[in-house]
Amino acid sequence: MDNPRDDIDTGHPIKALRDLAPEETPGFFDRLRAKIDRKIMTNEFVSLGWDVPRLVLKEFMEFLFQWFQPDPSGGEETDEGPTRPGDA
């Protein structure tokens, strides 16, 4: 596997600090990417767990308000009984 650092040109290192840089262990960037991916996935699940119940509640409330609103046609009844949104 190619090292992702090979693609990045960081310029010349400072001579005094060049020898102080620790060598990265094999698979370091793979482990780092895996940790970042786990955090992103956790964030997505937490967001989904928060947003879905809120959206379901919003849709339910809209349905209830629409159900109990007075009929704009004056509440005419048909042979089948009163008409309401959602009656099929």
Per-residue model confidence as pLDDT tens digits over 33-75 = 999 999 999 999 999 998 999 999 999 999 998 888 776 666 5
Q: Is the pTM of this model over 0.85?
A: no
pLDDT of residue 67: 84
pLDDT of residue 2: 60
Whether 66 and 85 have beta carbons less than 8 Å apart is answered as: yes
Q: What separation in angstroms does the CA of 54 have from each of 9, 37, 61, 66?
A: 46, 26, 11, 18
**Predicted confidence (pLDDT) per residue in 25-42, tens digit:** 889 889 999 999 999 999
Rounded CA-CA distance 14/18 in Å is 6
Whether 65 and 77 have beta carbons less than 8 Å apart is answered as: no
